[in-house]
A and B are shown apart, each in its own frame.
Chain A
Amino acid sequence: MNRNRLSSINVAALALGLGFLYLPILLVVVFSFNASKLVTVWGGFSLHWYGVLFSSPAYLEAALHSLQIGAAAATLATLVGTLGALAFTRLGRFPGRQVFAGLMLAPMVLPEVILGVATLLLFVSLDVERGLLTVMLTHATFGAAFVLVIVQAKLVGMDPDLEAAARDLGAGPVKAFLLVTVPALLPALVAGWLLAFTLSLDDVVLASFVNGPGATTLPVRVYSAVRLGVSPEINAISTLLIALVSIFVIAASLLYKRTIVDRH
Chain B
Amino acid sequence: MTARRLGLLALPLLWTAAFVVVPLLLILKISFAEAQLAQPPYTPLFQDGALAASLTNYSLLLEDTLYLRALGNSLLYAGLATICCLVIGLAIARAVTQAPKGWQPFLLTLIILPFWTSFLIRVYAWIALLKPEGLINAALLSSGVIDQPLVLVNTGFGVVLGMTYSYLPFAILPIYASLAGQSPRLTEAAIDLGSTPIRAFWLVTVPLARPGILAAGLMVFIPMAGEFVIPDLLGGSATIMMGQTLWTEFFSNRDWPLASALAVLLTLLLLVPAMTLQRLELGKASR
User: What residues of chain A have their CB less than 8 Å away from a CB belonging to chain B?
Assistant: 2, 5-7, 9-11, 13-14, 17-18, 20-22, 24-25, 27-28, 31, 39-40, 79-81, 83-84, 86-91, 94, 100-115, 117-122, 124-125, 137-138, 140-141, 144, 149, 152-153, 155-156, 173, 198, 201-202, 204-205, 209, 219, 222-223, 226-227, 230, 234, 238, 241-242, 245-246, 248-249, 253
Measured CB to CB, the closest approach of chain B to A33, in angstroms, equals: 14
Q: Is B121 an interface residue (CB 8 A)?
A: yes
Contact of B12 among A80, A202, A249 (CB under 8 A): A80
Q: Which of B120-138 contact A (CB under 8 A)?
A: 120-129, 131, 133-135, 138
Contact of B4 among A109, A113, A173, A249 (CB under 8 A): A173
A residues less than 8 Å from B260 (CB atoms) = 117, 121
Check B118 against A238 for contact (C-beta < 8 Å): yes
A residues less than 8 Å from B110 (CB atoms) = 18
B residues less than 8 Å from A115 (CB atoms) = 23
Interface of B is mostly: helix
Measured CB to CB, the closest approach of chain B to A9, in angstroms, equals: 8
How many positions in chain B have a CB within 8 Å of any CB in the partner chain? 89
Q: Is B54 an interface residue (CB 8 A)?
A: no
A18 to B98, alpha carbons, bound, how many Å? Answer: 16
Extra contacts, 9 of them, besides A24-B129, A84-B16 (Cβ < 8 A), are: A10-B99, A24-B122, A40-B138, A103-B20, A110-B274, A111-B266, A114-B226, A117-B259, A226-B127
Q: Is B202 an interface residue (CB 8 A)?
A: no
Binds A, one of B55-63, B64-72, B89-97, B206-214: B89-97
Check A223 against B243 for contact (C-beta < 8 Å): no
Contact of A141 among B19, B40, B124 (CB under 8 A): B19
Contact of B15 among A7, A39, A144, A204 (CB under 8 A): A144
User: Given A103-B16, A103-B21, A111-B226, A223 and B278 touching (CB < 8 A)?
Assistant: no
User: Given A117-B250, A202-B119, A230-B127, A2 and B20 touching (CB < 8 A)?
Assistant: no
Check A253 against B107 for contact (C-beta < 8 Å): no
Check A20 against B165 for contact (C-beta < 8 Å): yes
Contact of B283 among A101, A107, A125, A140 (CB under 8 A): A101
A-B contact pairs, 9 of them (CB 8 A): A24-B122, A28-B124, A90-B8, A105-B278, A117-B250, A144-B15, A155-B285, A204-B120, A238-B118
A166 to B243, alpha carbons, bound, how many Å? Answer: 52
Check B116 against A24 for contact (C-beta < 8 Å): no
B residues less than 8 Å from A138 (CB atoms) = 19
Check A91 against B23 for contact (C-beta < 8 Å): no
Check B15 against A80 for contact (C-beta < 8 Å): yes
A residues less than 8 Å from B135 (CB atoms) = 27, 40
A100 to B15, alpha carbons, bound, how many Å? Answer: 11
A residues less than 8 Å from B242 (CB atoms) = 113
Check B99 against A104 for contact (C-beta < 8 Å): no
A residues less than 8 Å from B113 (CB atoms) = 246, 249
Check B117 against A242 for contact (C-beta < 8 Å): yes
Q: Is B229 an interface residue (CB 8 A)?
A: yes
B residues less than 8 Å from A9 (CB atoms) = 95
Check A87 against B133 for contact (C-beta < 8 Å): no
Check A113 against B228 for contact (C-beta < 8 Å): yes
Q: Is B270 an interface residue (CB 8 A)?
A: yes
One digit per residue, 1 when the CB lies within 8 angstroms of any chain A CB and 0 when it does not, for chain B 1-26 equals: 00011001101110110111111101
One digit per residue, 1 when the CB lies within 8 angstroms of any chain A CB and 0 when it does not, for chain B 67-93 equals: 000000000000000000000100110
Contact of B20 among A40, A94, A141 (CB under 8 A): A141
B residues less than 8 Å from A10 (CB atoms) = 94-95, 98-99
A41 to B40, alpha carbons, bound, how many Å? Answer: 50
Check B282 against A149 for contact (C-beta < 8 Å): yes
Measured CB to CB, the closest approach of chain B to A156, in angstroms, equals: 5
From A89, A107, A117, name the one whose CB has the most chain B CB atoms within 10 angstroms. Answer: A117
Q: Is B237 an interface residue (CB 8 A)?
A: no
Measured CB to CB, the closest approach of chain A to B38, in angstroms, equals: 13
B residues less than 8 Å from A83 (CB atoms) = 8-9, 11-12
Check B127 against A109 for contact (C-beta < 8 Å): no
A27 to B131, alpha carbons, bound, how many Å? Answer: 14
Measured CB to CB, the closest approach of chain B to A46, in angstroms, equals: 17
Check B12 against A84 for contact (C-beta < 8 Å): yes
